[in-house]
Amino acid sequence: MNSSNQNYIDFAQYNIWANNRIIEKLSSLADEQLNQTIEASFPSIMKTVAHLWSAEMGWLNRMQSNGWNTDVIKNFSGSTQDMFIGWQQTSQSFKEFVIKNDLEQLLQFDHKGKHYEIPFREIAQTVFTHGNYHRGQLVMMLRQLGITDIPQTDYIEWVRQQAHD
């Protein structure tokens, strides 16, 4: 395995770690807090979580030649914990995809009348940075709710923890 692939595997592992840390915090909150309307890109914490899960699942399905399939999330009727578990499972599946596939392979798809050809590595990078962006929004949403005991999810914190494990 070349070092570039290892970097993407590391980022996939970091993504899981950061998601798990924020999920652990969110799991301690009442559903009313998680669904409270808040000023942000999405109107609640749970809508933001659904968006994050949808992006990971959509890109993973597209790279697996299943199209942009996020019906599981669109039609979701489970509990909050079930949603967190689904998101965690998708993040794990995404990491497994990164491990097993040639990241130089081109993903080809049409969207809104345009044709795209994007290497899997760029899709992976997009998914991971997108997760960082929205986890940051989740932190700000938690602060709007008056919650200040929020875990670190920064990449450098993950690196430091890996050095001590």
What is the C-alpha to C-alpha distance for residues 147 and 143, in angstroms, rounded to an integer? 5
Using pLDDT thresholds of 50, 70 and 90, give the confidence band for residue 5.
confident
Using pLDDT thresholds of 50, 70 and 90, give the confidence band for residue 70.
very high
Both tokens of 29, joined, read 């909150």
pLDDT at 115 over 60: yes
pLDDT at 136 over 60: yes
Q: List binding-site positions.
A: 51, 130, 134
For a pLDDT cut of 70, what percent of the chain falls above it?
Answer: 98
- The model's pTM: 0.94
Q: Residue 2 has what pLDDT?
A: 59
CA distances from 113 to 109, 110, 116, 152 (A): 10, 6, 10, 41
Mean pLDDT of 117-136: 97
Q: List binding-site positions for a divalent metal cation.
A: 51, 130, 134
Long-range contacts of 103-111 (CB under 8 A, 24+ apart): 103/4, 103/5, 103/8, 107/62, 107/63, 109/62, 109/68
The answer to whether 16 and 88 are in contact (CB under 8 A) is yes
Using pLDDT thresholds of 50, 70 and 90, give the confidence band for residue 165.
confident
Count of residues making up the chain:
165
**pLDDT tens digits, one per residue of 47-60:** 999 999 999 999 99
What is the signed CA dihedral for 87, 89, 95, 97, rounded to 10 degrees?
-110
What is the C-alpha to C-alpha distance for residues 95 and 7, in angstroms, rounded to an integer? 12
**pLDDT tens digits, one per residue of 94-112:** 999 999 999 999 999 999 9
pLDDT at 4 over 80: no
Least confident of 1-10, 27-36, 83-92: 1-10
What is the C-alpha to C-alpha distance for residues 131 and 55, in angstroms, rounded to an integer? 9
Domains plus CATH for the chain?
3-164 (1.20.120.450)
